[in-house]
Chain A
């Protein structure tokens, strides 16, 4: 991105302001919930266990 272009720079600043201020608290910017993280870890662990069982 050519950040030296003043119009692009202004648009970038407008957007970062919208994201960090106006949309703060919006569900769109929520962190990934712990439940989903736990599911991801569970899938990986289940696959690892299956792999270990299959290889012994």
Chain B
């Protein structure tokens, strides 16, 4: 490949830091980006799943509490540092986990999380199109049958083709989907309000709760915490294109908290009114044959763009984390490799729906701990200062090489946070500890991860290891600029 093409490719794939002129998103631009991201089809499913546990009042409270805490913590652990230095998230994370530590995290936690969401979106596409067929063609396709699997595989193939064409195609499709989903959400609110009264909605009971009301509320909050944390893998790479810290932070909060809540409330209200948490099931009963079919078709299309977007971000992360080995793998092959497991999962369409709560909980167990560790590292230990050249320096030459490329303190702290989560709330069995009803599991996991990282870093990373005692690039340069002799020498 020609050298000029290499540079263009690196810019496209987000590896290079961005300069002032390349930062194109102000406050309003980034707000729309995040609103588009937030009002995705999964938000309706999250709202419906919350309705399984609690009624409308408690569900709304659980959504507000869970999303507020998780989105704030997640944003502090992703957008702030990437915005300040114009560097994508997984490169910045080298200063927390080390080069090898980032690779370990991406190839396990991030890959698991994003493969799960990809499988879910594919199956949702399959179910939506099967419902359209049932309505329009009079078929009676089973939502768990092989036809849904076949349609889900079609979604994966189409998403792969879109991905292979690159980010411009994704951006073009998102320009149609984001406003469309916003209109669809408003339309559903109107239809909902004509079909049910506010009083009926408030009195509607949960669809499939546990026996203990307090536990139901705690699990609903925990579920929404997990959903809020699940934005973490993609946010830093977006925020680096914004023009100021405030233009990164608050638009992301407005979109991922505010817009998400609106879409989730619609999903919850529809589920409580129509008795099913699956948006592909309640769309037609809610909107009627024609409007419902149109909405389903749009949902199917929107799932394709969401799928392409998250796989694009994840494959970038994998490429960043994989070092020279994955840098040589062709982009198309990397994307194809990513889709293997989601394709296998589509043969079990019920799995992702029935185990949605379990999946989000597992994802939250790791991401909450990681966010706690990142916040402790960036805000407390480094006081928002990083040495940019060290993030890109050759492994052992970098201050962020730690021990053989791994920050033992950060990885141990993440493990301790995750264990804390599992002790309070086992994501697999959904068995809870005594304190879970009051503390949830994500909040203690983040706190334990943060405190453990502070203590372990003091204990393990002495003598300059990890670069904790070095001044930041911006500080060094500011000194150089204000000292004429130094500037001239430089």
Chain A interface (Cβ < 8 Å from any Cβ of B): 1-8, 11-12, 15-16, 18-21, 23-33, 36-37, 40, 43-44, 46-48, 50-52, 54-56
Chain B interface (Cβ < 8 Å from any Cβ of A): 3-4, 6-7, 10, 13, 15-20, 23, 58, 61, 64-65, 68-69, 72-73, 75-76, 80, 84-86, 214, 217-218, 221, 243-246, 249-250, 320, 324, 327-328, 379, 384-385, 388-389, 392, 394, 437-438, 440, 443, 473-474, 476-478, 480-481, 490
Q: In angstroms, how far is the closest chain A Cβ from the Cβ of B375?
A: 10
Chain B binding surface, main DSSP class: helix
Contact B72 A44 (CB under 8 A): yes
Given contacts A7-B6, A25-B478, whether A44 and B73 have CB atoms under 8 Å apart is yes
**Cβ contacts under 8 Å, A8 to chain B:** 3, 6-7, 10, 16
**Cβ contacts under 8 Å, B221 to chain A:** 51
Contact A32 B249 (CB under 8 A): yes
**Cβ contacts under 8 Å, B440 to chain A:** 51
Contact B72 A7 (CB under 8 A): no
**Cβ contacts under 8 Å, A27 to chain B:** 244
10 A–B contacts, CB within 8 A, in A order: A1-B10, A1-B320, A2-B6, A16-B388, A23-B19, A25-B474, A29-B84, A32-B249, A51-B65, A51-B69
Q: In angstroms, how far is the closest chain A Cβ from the Cβ of B395?
A: 10
**Cβ contacts under 8 Å, B384 to chain A:** 31-32
Chain A residue with Cβ nearest B477:
A24
Chain B residue with Cβ nearest A40:
B72
Most chain B Cβ neighbours within 10 Å, of A24, A25, A43:
A24
Contact A21 B490 (CB under 8 A): yes
**Cβ contacts under 8 Å, B327 to chain A:** 1-2
Most chain A Cβ neighbours within 10 Å, of B64, B388, B474:
B474
Chain A residue with Cβ nearest B475:
A24
Chain A residue with Cβ nearest B389:
A16
**Cβ contacts under 8 Å, A11 to chain B:** 7, 10, 16
**Cβ contacts under 8 Å, B478 to chain A:** 24-25
Apart from A1-B10, A40-B249, what 13 extra A-B contacts exist at CB < 8 Å?
A7-B6, A8-B16, A16-B388, A19-B85, A21-B480, A24-B473, A24-B477, A28-B20, A30-B244, A33-B246, A48-B443, A51-B69, A51-B440
